[in-house]
Amino acid sequence: MTISKKYLNDKVVLLFVSINVFLTLLTIILIALRLGSGHASYIVQYRANLGINAFKSGSVTGLLAFMLFALVVLATHVGLSIKTYHIHRQLSVTVLALGILLLSVAIIVSNALLVLR
């Protein structure tokens, strides 16, 4: 996969890639700092249709999956952006913008689950 010189010189694309990298690192750091407190059980799911049993507890691996998810989202969106840049620039920018949205939602959801413990 070759990266075109136009892609590397496009300031909007580089700004969006930088924001994606920042949000990924922020997600990983926030989760790692919250997990360092030594709890054995965490709330990893919320199911609204279960009523009283809506909160499901689990181990640390459920929350470590959010870290992996952020890395996968970053790699996927940057890869798709590189591949779609030669088709249309705005498509590439849209892919990166959707990555920003997805990483923002991941930060909000992981924070909400970690606050509930």
Segments making up each domain of the chain, as ranges? 19-115
SS3 40: coil
Cβ neighbours of residue 17 closer than 8 Å, sequence gap 6 or more? 78, 81, 96
Beta strand spans in 30-83 (E):
42-46, 55-58
**Residue 59 burial (10 A CB sphere; 0-12, 13-18, 19+):** exposed
- The pLDDT profile of the chain, 117 residues, written as one tens digit per residue, is 677 788 888 899 999 999 999 999 999 999 888 876 666 667 767 777 776 777 777 777 777 888 999 999 999 999 999 999 999 999 999 999 999 999 999 999 888 878 776
CA–chain centroid gap for 4, Å, is 26
